[in-house]
Amino acid sequence: MKYTIEAKSYGSYDVVVCGGGTAGCFAAIAAARGGVKTLLIERSFKVGGMLTVGNAGITKFTEHCRDVDVYKSEVLDVLATEPERVQVVRGTPHEFVDRLLARGGGVGTNGVAGSYIFSEKAAAEMTLLEMLDEAGVTVLYDTRICLANSEDGILKNIVVCNKDGFAEINAKYFIDCTGDADVAAQAGVPFRVGASEYDVEKGGAKTVGELQHMGAMHRVRGVDFEKLFAYLEENPDRFFQHEFGVMSLENVKESYRNGEMCVFRVMADVPGIPGRRPVQFYNLPEKDEAIILGHYAGYHGCGIDAFTLSDAQKTLQLNTKKMKEYLRAIPGLENLEFIYIPDVGVRETRHIEGEYTITEIDVLSSKRFEDSVACGGHPIDIHPLPPEIENIDLNHWRFYIPYRVMLPKGIDNLLIAGRAISATRMASGAIRPTAQCMALGEAAGVATAILTENGGAARDIDIKLLQENLKKNGAIF
Ligand SMILES: Cc1cc2nc3c(=O)[nH]c(=O)nc-3n(C[C@H](O)[C@H](O)[C@H](O)COP(=O)(O)OP(=O)(O)OC[C@H]3O[C@@H](n4cnc5c(N)ncnc54)[C@H](O)[C@@H]3O)c2cc1C
């Protein structure tokens, strides 16, 4: 069915950032700090996306070490004194976590900002808002981008829908930070949803189109951490080391007692489910609060199917009743209460086809790129991984991300930042964590500020100038 709609005009901007989430906030701050007229459009009344309304952690700012002792002594302990040796993300994301920790809104490993951070969502949102406001970004809330009109390789305008009805917005450059590449898809950029044939061939998925499950990171209170630690000490088979946070129970206890970030898994009995199921715990600034990710907090389905998405939200909300039942049976969790049930989190939908598709080989071999604009240190978060990848030595490991993964094929004035960049499924599993999305957002924002000044297609940017400007921000690439 075809409709004709009446759309008013919201005028023209230098840069329009679509989606005010993890990548979008940093894209908008970077563009506006570059002196260009920037509009940030967000469908909800909250900025931060998964970082705030999703309760996700802010990971990972440092190199990774698989070995718990190496990680502690050669990364975490080095952070406080020589961060430049071990950090992989700095720049504006680091400034954000510095400000967040300074206001008591988060906890970091060893108490250091540039580490593995968990935050209290209202404080994270306030920090982002202050930074957007100081940079001079215009924020348009409660507005969904529903159409994107491209012609001859140029994205002419987007059409949004809100309380005003429909409105058209023009810009010199657009950055798609919707997570699902909504704008790119509307503009005709080629994409795939979930795993490709390549991914299946390489063992990164069983079937074409396979998606990582959706989920919810719940915020709870009433956790008696000391009692839980005592229980884990007496029952070591109930403790499971978190593979990315890499902390022994001793490290966990010490960090918690110092008011620093700790992460661990408890192996729980879930009625009716054979075997034990892991529940991840991340502490928060309030001593009895935690973010948890446990059984019944996952949902299989496609996050760009409207009814599926709604069912996921409803199911995950209702599931908290079942979660409470099995969690309260664990010593230390008898008084646990859910205090914030987040919006359903989507891990994977569209992957755009870009000027370069970064692969898991690039990531795991730490391949360098002439047009590198960001680094990462997060291992591939996809399960199960092929054994040859699972067993690779990842001590003192980091990877590099080229600018071209943000450039969609066929459109000159559109960049994509966040989880929808051009990547194989396994590479995306390492890049989609928040710190990398923030760093890519910053790179896209700095790029559009340069492009606004100099003109031309995003692929023809002066890459040295982009890298120089990123370096001035303190970014690592
Ligand atoms: C359950 C779960 C747990 C996770 N845990 C962690 C973790 O502990 N650590 C970690 O580092 N990473 C974690 N991740 C991954 C990480 O949070 C995300 O991959 C990352 O935040 C994605 O950033 P983004 O900017 O691409 O998308 P988002 O942060 O989701 O931002 C997208 C924004 O765009 C807006 N938007 C979407 N469509 C439109 C539209 N059409 N119009 C207007 N606005 C729109 C959304 O409202 C949102 O604000 C987790 C992910 C999930 C799902």
Ligand 1: residue whose CA is nearest its atom 51 = 347
Q: Which sign, positive or negative, has the C-alpha torsion 258, 268, 241, 281?
A: negative
**Predicted pLDDT at 364:** 94
Q: Which amino acid residue places its CA nearest to atom 9 of ligand 1?
A: 57
- With the most atoms of ligand 1 within 8 angstroms of its CB, the residue from 26, 42, 50 to mutate is 50
pLDDT of residue 358: 98
Q: 332: which DSSP letter?
A: T
Q: What is the DSSP letter of 305?
A: S
Per-residue pLDDT at 105 exceeds 90 = yes
Distance of CA 320 to the CA centre of its chain: 23
Reply yes or no on whether the pLDDT at 113 is more than 80: no
Q: How far is CA 326 from the centre of its chain?
A: 29
Q: Can you tell me the distance from the alpha carbon of 161 to that of 204, in angstroms, rounded to the nearest whole number?
A: 38
Q: How confident is the model at residue 392 (pLDDT cuts 50, 70, 90)?
A: confident
Beta bridge partners of 170: 12, 157
**Spacing, Cα 271 to ligand 1 middle (Å):** 31
Q: What does the H/E/C string look like for 227-274?
A: HHHHHHHHCHHHEECCCCCCCCHHHHHHHHHCCCCCEEEEEEECCCCC
> Phi and psi at residue 25, in whole multiples of 5°?
-60, -40
User: What's the average model confidence in pLDDT over 136-151?
Assistant: 97
User: Whose alpha carbon is nearest atom 10 of ligand 1?
Assistant: 433
User: According to the model, what pLDDT value does residue 15 have?
Assistant: 98
Q: Are strands 7-18 and 165-176 parallel, antiparallel or unpaired?
A: parallel
Structure confidence by residue, pLDDT tens digits, 185-244: 999 999 999 999 999 999 999 999 999 999 999 999 999 999 999 999 999 999 999 888
Q: Is the pLDDT of residue 298 over 80?
A: yes
Q: How confident is the model at residue 1 (pLDDT cuts 50, 70, 90)?
A: confident
Q: How does residue 384 score in pLDDT terms, banded at 50, 70 and 90?
A: confident
Indicate which atom in ligand 1 lies nearest the CA of residue 419.
26
Mean pLDDT score of the chain: 95
Q: What is the dihedral of CA 13, 15, 16, 20, to 10 degrees?
A: -130
* Total length of the chain: 477
If one residue of 39, 381, 434 were mutated to test the ligand 1 pocket, choosing by the most ligand atoms within 8 A of its CB, it would be 434
What is the structure's pLDDT at 279? 97
Spacing, Cα 26 to ligand 1 middle (Å): 13
Q: What are phi and psi of 308, to 5 degrees?
A: -65, -45
* CA 167 – CA 174 distance, rounded (Å): 16
Quick check: 218 and 121 in contact, CB under 8 A? no
Please say if the pLDDT value at position 391 is more than 90.
Answer: no
Q: Which residues contact 75 (CB under 8 A, 6 or more apart)?
A: 62, 63, 64, 65, 86, 396
User: 178: CA distance to ligand 1 center in Å?
Assistant: 8
What percent of the chain lies above the pLDDT cut of 90?
Answer: 90
DSSP string across 107-167? EEGGG-SSS-EEE-HHHHHHHHHHHHHHHT-EEE-S-EEEEEEEETTEEEEEEEEETTEEE
Q: Atom 52 in ligand 1: which residue has the minimum CA distance?
A: 345
Q: How far apart are CA 179 and CA 43, in angstroms?
A: 12
Residue 385 pLDDT > 90: no
* pLDDT of 316 strictly over 90: yes
B/e letters for 288-316, b = 16+ CB within 10 Å, e = fewer, are ebbbbbbbbbbbebbbbeeebbeebbebb
What mean pLDDT is predicted for residues 311-339? 97
Residues with CB under 6 A from ligand 1: 18-24, 41-44, 49-51, 54, 56-57, 59, 144-145, 177-180, 182, 215-217, 345-347, 418-419, 432-434, 437
Residue 401: pLDDT band by 50, 70, 90 thresholds? very high
Least confident of 88-97, 387-396, 412-421: 387-396
Angle separating helix axes 121-135 and 22-33, nearest 10 degrees: 20
Q: Within 13 Å of residue 52, how many CA atoms lie on the same side as its CB? A: 24
**Structure confidence by residue, pLDDT tens digits, 158-186:** 999 999 999 999 999 999 999 999 999 99
Q: How far apart are CA 106 and CA 230, in angstroms?
A: 25
Tell me the pLDDT band of 2, cut-offs 50, 70 and 90. Answer: confident
Determine the average pLDDT of the residues in 36-42. Answer: 98
Tokens of 425: 């499924």
Which neighbouring-strand residues pair with 39?
16, 138
How do strand 7-18 and strand 38-41 relate by DSSP bridges? Answer: parallel
Could you tell me which of 215, 148, 143 has the C-alpha nearest to residue 176?
A: 148
**pTM (2 decimals)?**
0.97
Average confidence (pLDDT) over 289-306: 97
Closest CA to 185 of 466, 378, 411, 443: 411
Q: Using the predicted structure, report yes or no on whether residue 467 has a pLDDT greater than 90.
A: yes
Residues 43-63 pLDDT 10s = 999 999 999 999 999 998 999
Alpha carbon nearest to ligand 1 atom 7, residue: 57
- For 415, phi then psi, to 5°, come to -120, 155
